[in-house]
Amino acid sequence: MYLNTKLEDHRKDIRVAFIGCGKFVSMFLAQYNQLKKIKIDSIIDVKIDQAKDNCRKSGLNETTINEINFSNNLDSVLDRDIEIFIEATGNPIVGTVHAVKIIKNKKHIILVNVEADVTCGKYLSDLAKQNNVICSMAYGDQPSLILEQVEWARLNGFSVVCAGKGTKYHPTFEYSTPDTVWGHYGLTKERAEIESGMNPKMFNSFLCGDKSAIEMCAVSNAANLKCPNHGLTFPPVGVYDIAKKLIPKSVGGLIDYEGQVEVISSIDENKKDIPNDLRWGVYVVIKAENQYVKNCFKDYGMVTDESGNYSAIWRPYHYIGLELAQSIYSIALDNKATGFTKHYNADVASYAKKDLKIGEKLDGEGGFCARGRLITSEKSKTEKILPLGLTDNAIVKRNISKDQVIKIEDVELNLPAEVIEARNYQYNLE
């Protein structure tokens, strides 16, 4: 709270380093010239020339770019005077390795890499605590913004009935691939990839449900909220119906439990836009615990269900990397994360997107081979299901039919020791 006031009294630069310089980081860079006391020390990227070009496109001049240390190797910068690292590769396996190195080097880390968080987040959070540093979610991404609303609700004594986000979803999108994705967005390949530099695999993840499962897994694990019984259902719900529909089935709503996550769609079963959608935003549903609070909901014009017991608040947009400074300032000025994994409640299971043959190499989130579905961690452990975060470069050992769940025994994995340790740690938690 009141970080800007604290910033006025902060005397030294907050030195940061970015790992990966894609869209999220480019959005932060576009704000960089306006930010106070944040100093980019280093940018680590396997494509340094492209990273520098992204800096230019984001509005940094050559003088500023020349002041930044560019490297293609994290190890080369670990000993520099850097307070906070921002991991933004999007690769859960590589990101976990990076995070372990940074944390053991006694530096704070912000995980733009939600994929790493849901794959190994409980281990990373506990490791950070052991090393007296912070492992934080990234403000600007929807999980952190949802957690902010959950925190507000619980701090003020409200029960959190449901929390989540909006997106554009239809069941047919689950089988979309990087080759078919742009048609669903109404874009040509040239317009999307050449003119705008959009990554087809990443944007397919947004479309096919992978990213939604990943982000709700992060929220479930951070906020101790339940998973739906059969994965996310993506009901088409406008903002003025959230409090009417994102309540338990026992009281006329759509959700399985009081206190769960869910994603709502901006289009209906006919792929038509619904009125007052929340495609880019986040929400939380709260409950009045007594008649006086119920009356207050009515007196102050809050949108409720028919009973008046349930109400909702929402934020219609998230600004992604344009808001990342909030996390940096929160760590540097308040020594607080903008969300972090506290539990291991949920996982993202892998399901075959097509018939998979022996010897085929899986290609991770948003790819051609597998899609993700939110499940409980208990189911993940008991049935030894392959998390979506471990599918990249896994080799299929037996034929797997389309729509079949992929188990760990079905693939050959060659994982770094850090990832193996992290997953074993989480599996062995009581």
Task: Examine the pLDDT at 264 and tell me if it is beyond 90.
Answer: yes
Q: pLDDT tens-digit profile of 315-367? A: 999 999 999 999 999 999 999 999 999 999 999 999 999 999 999 999 999 99
Q: What is the pLDDT of residues 51-99, one digit of tens each?
A: 999 999 999 999 999 999 999 999 999 999 999 999 999 999 999 999 9
Q: Are 14 and 83 in contact (CB under 8 A)?
A: yes
Q: What is the mean pLDDT of residues 189-207?
A: 87
- pTM summary value: 0.97
Arithmetic mean of pLDDT over the chain: 96
| Residue 39: predicted pLDDT | 98
DSSP labels, 342-388: ----EEEEEEESS-B-TTPBP--TTSSSEEEEEEEHHHHHHTTBPBG
Question: Is the model's pLDDT at 400 over the cut of 70?
Answer: yes
Helices 114-130 and 210-223 cross at an angle (nearest 10°) of: 20
The confidence score (pLDDT) of residue 165 equals 98
- What's the rounded Cα separation, in Å, for the pair 375 and 123? 19
Which tens digit of pLDDT belongs to each residue from 139-189?
999 999 999 999 999 999 999 999 999 999 999 999 999 999 999 988 999
Q: Exposed e or buried b for every residue in 42-75, given b needs 16+ CB within 10 A?
A: bbbbeeeeebbebbeebebeeeebeebebbeebe
Q: At what angle do helices 417-427 and 92-104 cross, to 10 degrees?
A: 90
Nearest by Cα to 86 from 322, 327, 319: 327
What's the CA gap between 94 and 390, in Å, rounded? 11
DSSP string, 171-213: GGGGG--TTTHHHHHT--HIIIIIIS---HHHHHHHHHSHHHH
Note the pLDDT of residue 195. 75
Over 80: is that where the pLDDT of 268 sits? yes
The closest of 370, 378, 377, 381 to 411, measured between CA atoms, is 370
Q: State residue 96's pLDDT score.
A: 98
Residue 373's contacts (CB-CB under 8 Å, 6 or more residues apart) are 209, 213, 231, 232, 348, 349, 351
| pLDDT tier, 384 (very low <50, low <70, confident <90, very high otherwise) | very high
The token pair that represents 116 in the structure block: 């790493």
Average pLDDT over residues 199-220: 96
CB 107 within 8 A of CB 136: no
Amino acid 1: pLDDT? 60
Show the domains of the chain with their CATH numbers: 3-140+321-334 (3.40.50.720), 163-169+209-317 (no CATH), 347-427 (3.90.1210)
Q: If pLDDT is split at 50, 70 and 90, which confidence band does 197 have?
A: confident
One-letter identity of residue 15 = R
Residue 200: which pLDDT band, with cuts at 50, 70 and 90?
A: very high
Q: Is the pLDDT of residue 308 over 70?
A: yes
Contact 124, 341 (CB under 8 A): yes
Contact assessment for residue 367 and residue 180, using Cβ atoms and an 8 Å cutoff? no
User: What is the token pair recorded at 110?
Assistant: 């912000």
**413: pLDDT confidence band, cut at 50, 70 and 90?**
very high
pLDDT at 194 over 90: no
The two three-digit tokens of residue 85, written as one number: 């690292």
The CB density around residue 13, as the number of other CB atoms within 10 Å, is 15
Give the per-residue pLDDT at 179. 95
- What's residue 245's pLDDT? 98
Q: How far apart are CA 377 and CA 123, in angstroms?
A: 14
